[in-house]
Amino acid sequence: MVSIKVTNDKVKYNSDNTVLTSSYTYQNSIVEQKGDIYNVKPFTREYEFNVDLKVPKTGLLLVGLGGNNGTTFVSAIEANKQKIIFNNKEGEVKSNYFGSVTQASTVKIGIDESGKDVYVPFNSILPFVNPNDLIVSGWDINGANLKDAAKRAQVLEYDLQSKLGSTLSQYSPLKSIYYPDFIAANQEDRADNIFNIDSNGKIDQSNKWDHVETIRSDIKKFQSDNKLDKVIVLWTANTERYSQIIDGVNDTSDNLISSIKSGHKEVSPSTIFAVASILENVAFINGSPQNTFVPGVVELAEKEGSFIGGDDFKSGQTKLKSVLAQYLVDAGIKPLSIASYNHLGNNDGFNLSSNEQFKSKEISKGSVIDDIIESNSILYNKELGDKVDHTIVIKYLKAVGDSKIAMDEYYSELMLGGHNRISISNVCEDSLLATPLIIDLVIATEFLTRVSYKPLGSNDSAKSLYPILGYLSYWLKAPLTRKGFQTINGLTKQKQGLENFLKALVGIPISDELRFEERL
């Protein structure tokens, strides 16, 4: 295992090396614009951070345990834990966590004496949960055990399924809630494992507060039975339609609680799971594009001091789009249109063939370039209504299964009336791209719950980070942000912010590329 020791006066450890305390000077500038004049006022703020270095025994509850992502996630954990070697048509494959930032990427921490960059594994900078140690369970509207669910998903190689079969058969999902109005009608046949059924065998949505309490009981039992220090809940179930934001219904936490108790039709299953998690002080992450975090949920998280993160996994096509759009705009090239087409054949695609669910995905995919476009007023004049013509199409095609086919065309304006056209075809093995994101989101979330801070020199007690975990944005298409702050979608900015935060916590200077060592 790699070990890092930072030698400076900004870091110190307590007597038993279980708490790291570091100081950091944050620098930025307040800019005031008056016509063509920009008045720049640099400022600094000094903070003290505390990191609990004890890695807790952590459990993960997946909503959608029996879906493609859920079965692939559990299979990945078990395959790596058991160090399984299996065969595909190309030969032997050793189980690994490729695609995971926390498990398979590196971070630059400085240079050696010759000026060469030095990189270390991402997960060596500070103590993180090992994914092999996660205890996993969850809910699903379908009751199939994970051996049968993995066979149905058609994601994993046959040899790997065979070697994991006896292990996966021991995983069976808890009963979940099913509100038919929120997911596509074509999912009804799968819904054989639900608890909101009345004495007449009908779906009961009259008192959704009972559903909150049932989920809270499931969380408590899972934590108690497995003697866990911490639990995280993550939604990787079907994409829901958007909930209407209605004054008096879901606009405040009190109104939302009242609406849940009255069984209001605009309270979604994902919101029920979020509320239950918040009330249990359990972090909740939304990996799908619907607006789970209505204003009342965010306010409740703030009141309870519970952590939330979302929305929608950023895996293949959208991640590439956030990089390519940033490259074009930063290069002074003006994208005029971006056309994105997908077809896929897994159950996610089947659910998205319904218009209401597709709209949720369209919104999350469409917002990924917003802040990038906003960053360049030379290319895009707000007063003239300049914007990118951005079109997104998703089609269900059963034959391709979990191999999502993504085709994009970027049509841009060059100098003197010239044009540039970039066309990309991207075949994404959907669940094998999404599963590493789940790993990273869970591990990063758990870690961030162990960080506290206060102004340097203050006598106040250190407080936890803000409930919306912005550092998760690297893995999410439509990241939540604190009210009044700009959402950042640019992938490079997101990754740089995450890495710099970790470096600041251990006293490593954040990276710049001035390269004075070679230029002075």
CA dihedral 240, 242, 245, 250 (to 10 degrees): 10
User: Rounded to 5 degrees, what are φ and ψ at 103?
Assistant: -105, -20
- State the distance between the two ends of the chain, measured CA to CA, in whole angstroms: 36
Check 208, 230, 361, 365 and give the catalytic one. Answer: 361
Instruction: Give every strand in the sheet of 19-34, ordered side by side.
Output: 11-13, 19-34, 37-52, 451-455, 463-464
Check 311, 312, 348, 430 and give the catalytic one. Answer: 312
CA–CA distance from 445 to each of 98, 196, 473 (Å)? 20, 30, 11
**390, 366 Cβ separation under 8 angstroms:** yes
What tokens appear for 111 in the block?
A: 């240079």
What tokens appear for 322 in the block?
A: 């956030």
Round to whole Å and give the CA distance between 169 and 146.
Answer: 6
Q: Within a 13 Å sphere around the CA of 48, how many CA atoms are in the beta-carbon half?
A: 16
- 3-state secondary structure labels for all residues of 214-276: HHHHHHHHHHHHCCCCEEEEEECCCCCCCCCCCCCCCCCHHHHHHHHHCCCCCCCHHHHHHHH
Round to whole Å and give the CA distance between 22 and 158.
Answer: 49
Q: Rounded to 5, what percent of the chain is helix, strand, coil?
A: 35, 25, 35
Check 163, 365, 404, 503 and give the catalytic one. Answer: 404
477 assigned to active site: yes
312 assigned to active site: yes
Check 163, 314, 321, 477 and give the catalytic one. Answer: 477
Round to whole Å and give the CA distance between 249 and 265.
Answer: 10
Q: Which of 221, 136, 141 is nearest to 171 (CA)?
A: 136
The stretches of 314-421 forming alpha helices (DSSP H) are 317-330, 347-352, 355-366, 370-374
Three-class SS state of 390: strand
**138, 70 Cβ separation under 8 angstroms:** yes
Q: Which of 322, 352, 314 is nearest to 430 (CA)?
A: 314
Three-class SS state of 343: strand
Contacts of 209 (CB under 8 A, 6+ apart): 257, 260, 261
Active-site amino acid positions: 312, 361, 404, 477
